[in-house]
Amino acid sequence: MRYPTLTQSKCAELAAKLASGADSAIEPHTLWIGHGDDLELTPIKGAANTITRDMLHWRDRDRDRFEGEASIRLYESLRHVPTEILDDRGFWRFLSLRYYWEFIAWREEDAFARGNYLKYVDASTNTESVLPRMYVRACAVGGNEHRSLASGIPNAGDFWRSHVVRVRTASAPVITRAFASKHARDRLTTDPLREAAKRLNRTWTNIVLHLYDRRDAEVLIDNIWDEVRGQ
């Protein structure tokens, strides 16, 4: 399958142009990788259009909740994309600049205003670059079936980025769901939340949590909450 990518250097060059307000066509700089049929981009384009349109009507200051909702839409639009393409950072760079630039600029408005935009579009990390982190967040909750959870916690940018996407918890949807549900129901403030996350990360050190089912995960998270609340 052939799919579009942007190299890191081309991404930096084009992003600088876009950030300065200049119009810059992405296609002439796109590098198509692979052989055979072209990857179907219509659903991806459709999701990007919907997200960009909806963002214009979003009045809440909590843009992370919007990101959570949009993450599911992004994830669903990429269901047909083979893993090996999703693993290519060049593909994410293409998506960021070609379809999602406006949304990413809106989501990271403050950083963009300071001229700090590249790490949000260049897919160098899955915790900062907006589209990869959204994709990981949607995978971490388990996709569309759990869409309300991805956007159900108010002002939870730090929760998702620091305590889920950045760590092993993101690779275990059962654990992520128990963690996020608990935080939604019984919210911890910043420091206790950090302590709870640290305890969960330490549990990973000795226990293979991929083995846990929903009930196991809920008991584990309840215990961590009790310990943190009891301190």
Partner 1 sequence: MNTETRTIRPFTGLGGLDEVLEGVVLHFGPDAVRANESIALDMPPYEFLLRPVHLEWAADEVSFHEFKDLLVTRALRAEIPLDSLSLVVVASSSFLKIAEIVFTWPVDDIDALPRQTALTEVRRPRAFNTPFSGFRVDVYLLLDRDLAFRPLRPHRRGTWIARSNYRIETTLGPAVLPPTPLTDEIRTRYGLPAKTIRYFDFGDHDVTQPYAEQEPPVFYIDANLLGQLNARRNSPASRAIQLQLAIDFIHAVIRRASASNDLDGLKYDDLRATLLGNVLRVAAGPGASHADLDNLVRKVQDDPEYVVARAEHFADVQSGFVGCLEEAES
Residues at the interface with partner 1 (CB under 8 A): 16, 34, 82-84, 86-89, 111, 113-119, 124-128, 132, 135-136, 139-140, 165-168, 170-172, 198, 201-202, 205-212, 216
Counting every residue written for the chain, the total comes to 231
Q: How far is the CB of 57 from partner 1 (least distance, A)?
A: 29
> Which amino acid is it at 216?
D
The nearest distance, CB 56 to partner 1, in angstroms, is 26
- List phi, psi (to 5°) of 59: -105, -20
Q: In this complex, which beta carbon is closest to partner 1, that of residue 186 or of residue 222?
A: 222
Question: Across-strand partners of 32?
Answer: 4
Closer Cβ to partner 1, 52 or 201, answer by number: 201
> What minimum distance in Å lies between the beta carbon of 87 and partner 1?
4
| Nearer of residues 52 and 63 to partner 1, judged by Cβ | 63
Orientation angle between helical segments 130-141 and 63-77, nearest 10 degrees: 80
- Least CB distance from residue 111 to partner 1, whole Å? 7
The structure tokens listed for 187 are 């919210």
128's tokens: 């900062």
Q: CB 61 → partner 1: shortest distance, Å?
A: 16
Nearer to partner 1, 54 or 195 (CB): 195
Question: Closer CB to partner 1, residue 8 or residue 52?
Answer: 8
**How distant, in Å, are the alpha carbons of 92, 135, 171, 208, 216 from that of 225?**
36, 27, 21, 20, 14
Q: What is the largest CA-CA distance in the chain?
A: 59
φ/ψ (deg, to 5) at 32: -90, 130
